[in-house]
Every structure is written in C-alpha cells, then in structure tokens.
Structure 1
Amino acid sequence: MIKLKTLNKKQLEDFVSSGEFKQYDFLPITEHRALSHINNPKATDEQILLILAFYNEKLAGYLGCFPDRFVLEEKEIRYAWLSTLYVSEEFRGKKIAKRLLEKAMEIYEEQIAITEFTQEAETLYKIMGSFEYILPKRGKRFYFNTDLATIIPDKKPNTNLFRPFFSLVDFTANSVISIKNMLIRKPDFHFEILDHIDGESADFVNGFQSRRNANEINLSIKYPWVLKGERKDEKYLFSSYAENFKYFWIKVYDHQNSLTVCSLLLLRDGYLKIPYLFSQSGMGNFIDFLSYFVVKNKIKALTSYQHELNKEIEHSKIFPKIYERDFERRYLFHKQLLQSLPEGFNPHYQDGDGDCMMT
C-alpha cells in the first residue's frame, strides 16, 4: 500500500522543471529549494535528494536529504542530513514517517545526521533507537528592543485585547533605547559589506579549518532555500518565503588596514544569525561593527553560536543588547555514522554547517 519514490539530481530537476511536483494536494519541495539541492557541491549525481511516499497512489509524505561529508586525513565519509520530514494528516498513523526514515538509512547506509528537529520528529527518532546525541552547540540570543505586543499575545492568546497597551509600552521603551543607541557611531576602521565572498576573503578563509570552503558558501548564498517576498507557498509546510531574507559578507580590517575578520550574516525579518565567522585576532573591531550593523538595520535579536564572540559580547559595554538568553542546538547522529568516526570525534560545526545555513 505504501510505495516510495527516490529522486537524485537529474530526477529532481526533471520532477520540478516538468511541473509534476505541483500536481499534489501539497508540495513536496519548492523550485528554489530543489535548485539549491541540485547545486549542492557535496552531492554526487547518484545520491538521493528527495524521497516521496505514496499511499494508494496518493502522495502521503516526503523526506529531504542534504548530502555532506567529513574528510579525515585520507579518509572521506559521506553522509546526509535529514530535513523536511513531513506526513500529511490524512495519512498519520500508517507508519509512513518510519518507512521514509528506513529508506533514507538504507540509501545512505545509515550514515545519517539530523538537527533542528521538531519535538514530534525527535520522539520518532528516539523510538527507532538508531540515533545518539552528540556534543550540542550552546549559543546566545541577544535582544535589542522590546516586542511585548507580539510575544505576550502569541504565548497567551487571552491577552490579545491588551495588545494596544503592550504596543504603547514597546513604543515608550524602544524610544528610550533608540536615544541610547544614537551614541553608537559608524566605526572609524575600514570594513566592507558584500553580497558574496570575494578573492581576498577566499584566501583569508582558506587559512582556517572549516566544514565549508568559500566556493561552497557562495553557492549557498546564490541558491537559498528561502526567497525574499511577501507571498507564501500555502501548499508547502516548510520555510520558502520571508518578507526580508538577505545574506551579508562582512570584511573587517584593523587600523593598519589588514584583514582580520570575515563573517557571513543572515538577516531574516529583523532577526540576525552568524552562520560563519573567521577571526585572525580579537573580536573587538567586529563587535564594534556588529553594534553599528544592529542599530543601522534595526535588528530585533541576534542568535549566535560563536562561543568566543558571545563571551566578548557579554562583557562589552558598547554592544546594544538589553537582554540575553541561552540557546542550545542539538544534533543526532546514527550509531553507524558514529562508528565510522574516531572515538570522541568533534565535528566543530559552525552555525551554517549542515542545512542550518539555508533558513
């Protein structure tokens, strides 16, 4: 009753370009996400990127696969990140998600990694008993203004009547914060804001050990999973559009005009992330730049898993944060993948590694 269909690069390209993917009650992928999968330089032509599940000839669910690899000395270990696991409510309880996972494990010979999973999906992974947690990434979220009018009613719908009052409190508090932030000026050292990694930056980045090189990061920038636009794909249940979605490649120099820091910033609807950060010396100038960038672009909050940066921000007197809270990103590796890796292996992931870069 359950039939599975797998799509590699060429098959996925044909599936999307023909318009076949639009014929179902819900979309198993978007055109731009498919384009990103197809242009993933770590994916071979043969590797499966999308698995479709049909129940009585009707699309019931799907699972996306994002190939990656570890290069350890002369040994290469290929594996895949699982993402976009979805089963239609019409077909819940028919073990379709389990079949999709089993197929992915079969295809990738159990070399599987997962992160940013929902609580529901995490429960399934635990039930299967095939995955183990590895060292999590601990991060911070720094807030730069108040947003009570959104936060409180979203958490407690019965307070929606008080939204005008919360908006007034936000306006008053944020006006005071804005006056305080007027003291933050444009840095007096040289910096550049680009929309891609240039040659100088690529040479700089190549001096660091990283899971993605400059060319791979540029391809991720060129082929994002989320596009800027107010419309939404109502038939697609994962991220596809945002009112504002933009990458910034940052170059920061010291007062001798030597490049000392390169970083990728991702801004989505007022919220900022730092997928990649490469620093040759202290973070002082970068924090000065970041403070200026936050104020200029009216950033609501910054989520950072850059440990050294977070430590320095916490002690900074100029960084415009008004509140901070701890965050944790957990990772699940299949037991077989762990057996393929050295004992105690630490992947040293940055925030943009895996599929986190894309959203």
Structure 2
Amino acid sequence: MVSVKKIKLIELQEFVNSSDYHQLINKPISLARVISYLNNPNANDDDVVLYMAFVELELIGYKTIFADTFFYNNCKTKFGWLSGTWTHKNYRRKGVSTLLLNEVLSDWDENLMYTNYAEESKAVYDKTDKFTLLKSNEGYRYYIRFCFKELLPPKSDYFSKNIKILKFVDVTLNLLGDFRFKLLNTKKNSDYAICKLEDWNDKIINFIEPFKKKELFQRDKILYDWIAKYPWVKTDVETEILSQQYYFSNFSTKFCSNWYKIYEIKSQKIIGIALITINNKHLKTPYIYATSDSLPFFKNLIIKLCIKHKISYLTVYNADLNKLILEQSYFKILSKKFTQNYFYSKKLAKQLPSIGVFEIQNGDGDIVFT
C-alpha cells in the first residue's frame, strides 16, 4: 500500500532537521534547495512544496514544487513549477509518479508549469492530458572543447568502462585544439567597458524596465537577489558527500553565477546587462537585457570566459547573440540547435489564452538555479 506524505513550506526546515529525513537513503530534497525555497519571495507558508510516496518506511518517489508568479493584463498570478521528480527503479511504471502528480494538481488547483524535464516525467504529464505547450525558445549549444569523458558514458556501458581512455583522448585533442584560440579576434573598444554588476541601482532598474514589459515573468531586484544568493548547486565537501544520496544536480567542482554590465565610459550609459552562469564546464546565459550595440561585447566576454575557465560547451538562446557566435571563426568545434520548451496547465491556458505571446528568458523556471 502506497502512502503519500506532504510537506508545507512552513514544515520544511523541521522536516530536514528530523531523524525521518536523515534516515532516508534517498533524500527527496537537497539542503541548498531547502534554503532557497524558504527564502522564495513568491512563496507562502501554506504552500505544499514536497510530496513523497512511501511503501511502509521506504521512500519510493517524490516531487518538489516551488512557487512563482507571472503577469498578465497588469495582474499577478501565482503558480507552481514542477521541479524535481524521482521514482525508485523498482517502482517505475506502477503509477507512483501519477499518484503524486494528482495530489499536486489538486493542491495547486492546476496552476502549474514545467520546463527542463526528463522525458520520463513528461510522459507522466502527457498522460494526464492536463498540460499544453506555452512557448518554445530556440537556441544553440556550442561545443568549445572536446569532452567525450562527460558526454559518452551516459550513452553506453562500453564508454563507462573506458573513462580513462576517453579522458586521455580529451586531453590530447584539447592540447592541440586550444591553439586555435590564439587566432580569435576579440579586440576591445576603448569607448566601452565591461564589469561585474555589484548593485542593482536605479540606473539598472530603469534600463531593464522596457524589456520587462514584454516578459511573462517580469523579474525584479528582489527576485534576482534571491536567485543570486540561493543557488541549488554548491562546491563544498559536505555537499559532495550528500550528493550521492540526491538524484538531482546539487554539487559541482566549479560554480559561479554573475551579472555583467556594459556601459559607455564617457557618459556611463548602460547598454546591456546579462547573467552568466558557469557550472563545471558548462556556460549558460540565463538572462540577457541588451541593446544591439552591446551584443558584440557580450560575445567577446563569453569567448574570454570560455577560454579562461576551459568551458567544454556553451548554451545560448538569444537569437541575435547566436548570430554573432555562429559567425565567429576558430571558436567552436560544433554547434547544435537546442529547443527549450515551456508547458503550462490547460486550466491556465483556458483562463489566459494569450500569455504565450510574452517573452520567456531561458533562465525562467528552475534552470537558473543550476
């Protein structure tokens, strides 16, 4: 007999401090996520954020939800992101995930969205016939350095058994291939400067305001501060040890997330800001607010960061920035089109039929936290 246990936000800290949590072999939520959830500006104490399925005392499945809001016709609507679904391998295809999803649909009154999903999770969502496509963002993934050691083992046991050989191949090819970076042309423009954004002052807020009006989620200083302060990925030894008991990404050997601004030196006029995240050997651009004049500078900044941090692959969804990167010689080994899909409940689709016309940045959802 499967039983379901629900944890509200106000109960979350007590739960992870309890012996019940510490005795679980598979942890249903990481400590980094707990801290992030507790500080979520959009959340309420009564939000159910964790759903767990048990057979007696054994955890066999879980789902986590975090609160967010979107704007439509100047009205703010609260909803939940489906973020983090796991079922024990011995109980898959036995209705466990569907059971938990039905509880989520009921508690959140079907006000739900999801993105960044595993295909197995999407199959469960599709089966309910409760969701439909909200928007597709088209982008590119660029492979900058050889990384067979990371890419191939998940595809085959043969590669898993030969990681040392793959590592040797990567090192050898990258020693030769990295010489091409010396041919890159990333000249500075003495009229403009790039620096890390340390403070969201009035200039920054006023700069992004016209961009926000076109967006569905319309993030502000409070939300961006929350995202920056409470990522779901840590680099400490304790997290590395605990990560063996948690299915989702929460440890990295290198993780940094910084906002950068580009401005005219003489007038101090801001022409672009962007959030750039590095997780191990992957660089992402979750949020970009940029004029066309600023994009060549962001392209050069991304190239320099990729070389400095020995990035293996880069993901970008800004169409105009992708045009510049695709034209850049000697930088990438391979480019591949990528699509990021956003789904929302049919209930939201029926109530708010035209929200799909608004822009969605590829950091929206849970992607920005990792």
With structure 1 as the length reference, what TM-score do the two structures score? 0.89
Task: Give secondary structure in 2 for the equivalent of 1:352.
Answer: coil
Q: Which AA in structure 1 matches 2:263?
A: Y
Runs of 4+ in 1 over 6 A off after TM superposition: none
Q: Which of 253, 258, 283 matches 1:248?
A: 258
Q: What displacement does 1:271 show?
A: 1.1
CA distance in structure 1 between the partners assigned to 2:369 and 2:350 by the alignment: 28
Q: What displacement does 1:344 show?
A: 6.3
Q: Does 1:305 align with 2:312?
A: no
Q: Which runs of 5+ in 2 are unaligned?
A: none
Whether contact under 8 Å (2:281, 2:311) holds in the other structure is yes
Matched residues, number: 357
Q: What displacement does 1:199 show?
A: 5.3
2:280 corresponds in structure 1 to: 269
Q: Which of 231, 245, 249 matches 1:224?
A: 231
Q: What displacement does 1:115 show?
A: 1.0
Q: Which AA in structure 2 matches 1:174?
A: G
Q: Does 1:322 align with 2:333?
A: yes
Of the structure 1 ranges 136-145 and 265-274, higher mean CA displacement relative to structure 2 is found in 136-145
1:193 corresponds in structure 2 to: 196
Task: Give secondary structure in 1 for the equivalent of 2:325.
Answer: helix
CA distance in structure 2 between the partners assigned to 1:15 and 1:178 by the alignment: 50
CA distance in structure 2 between the partners assigned to 1:265 and 1:163 by the alignment: 29
* C-alpha distance 75-253 of structure 1, shift in aligned 2 (>3 A): closer
* C-alpha distance 268-198 of structure 1, shift in aligned 2 (>3 A): farther
Q: What displacement does 1:264 show?
A: 0.5
CA distance in structure 2 between the partners assigned to 1:198 and 1:19 by the alignment: 44
Q: Which runs of 5+ in 1 are unaligned?
A: none
Whether contact under 8 Å (1:145, 1:174) holds in the other structure is yes
CA distance in structure 1 between the partners assigned to 2:64 and 2:154 by the alignment: 30
Q: Which of 346, 351, 354 matches 2:365?
A: 354
Whether contact under 8 Å (2:69, 2:78) holds in the other structure is yes
2:52 corresponds in structure 1 to: 52
Of the structure 1 ranges 187-196 and 328-337, higher mean CA displacement relative to structure 2 is found in 187-196
Q: What displacement does 1:74 show?
A: 4.2
Q: Which AA in structure 2 matches 1:30?
A: S
CA distance in structure 1 between the partners assigned to 2:28 and 2:70 by the alignment: 28
**Residues 33-80 of structure 1, C-alpha deviation per residue, up to 9 Å, x if partnerless?**
111111111112221111122223432211101111222124332211
Matches within 5 A, 1:54-93: 54-93=54-93
Report % sequence identity: 26
Matches within 5 A, 1:1-359: 1-18=1-18, 20-148=20-148, 150-151=150-151, 155=155, 158=158, 160=162, 163=166, 166-167=169-170, 169-181=172-184, 184=186, 188=190, 189-194=192-197, 197=200, 200-209=203-212, 210=215, 211=217, 212-229=219-236, 231-232=240-241, 233-256=243-266, 257-282=268-293, 283-316=295-328, 320-343=331-354, 345-359=356-370
Whether contact under 8 Å (1:149, 1:170) holds in the other structure is no
Q: What displacement does 1:354 show?
A: 1.1
CA distance in structure 2 between the partners assigned to 1:153 and 1:345 by the alignment: 38
Whether contact under 8 Å (1:229, 1:244) holds in the other structure is no
* C-alpha distance 198-301 of structure 1, shift in aligned 2 (>3 A): farther
Q: Which AA in structure 2 matches 1:302?
A: L
Q: Which AA in structure 2 matches 1:308?
A: D
With structure 2 as the length reference, what TM-score do the two structures score? 0.87
Whether contact under 8 Å (2:148, 2:167) holds in the other structure is no
Q: What displacement does 1:12 show?
A: 0.8
**Residues 242-283 of structure 1, C-alpha deviation per residue, up to 9 Å, x if partnerless?**
001110110111354321111101001121000111113421
CA distance in structure 2 between the partners assigned to 1:343 and 1:154 by the alignment: 39
* C-alpha distance 10-158 of structure 1, shift in aligned 2 (>3 A): closer
Q: What displacement does 1:303 show?
A: 0.1
Of the structure 1 ranges 104-113 and 247-256, higher mean CA displacement relative to structure 2 is found in 247-256
Q: What displacement does 1:158 show?
A: 4.3
CA distance in structure 1 between the partners assigned to 2:204 and 2:140 by the alignment: 26
Task: Give secondary structure in 1 for the equivalent of 2:211.
Answer: coil
Task: Give secondary structure in 1 for the equivalent of 2:287.
Answer: strand
Q: Which AA in structure 2 matches 1:58?
A: E
Task: Give secondary structure in 1 for the equivalent of 2:169.
Answer: helix
* C-alpha distance 45-309 of structure 1, shift in aligned 2 (>3 A): same
* C-alpha distance 332-150 of structure 1, shift in aligned 2 (>3 A): closer
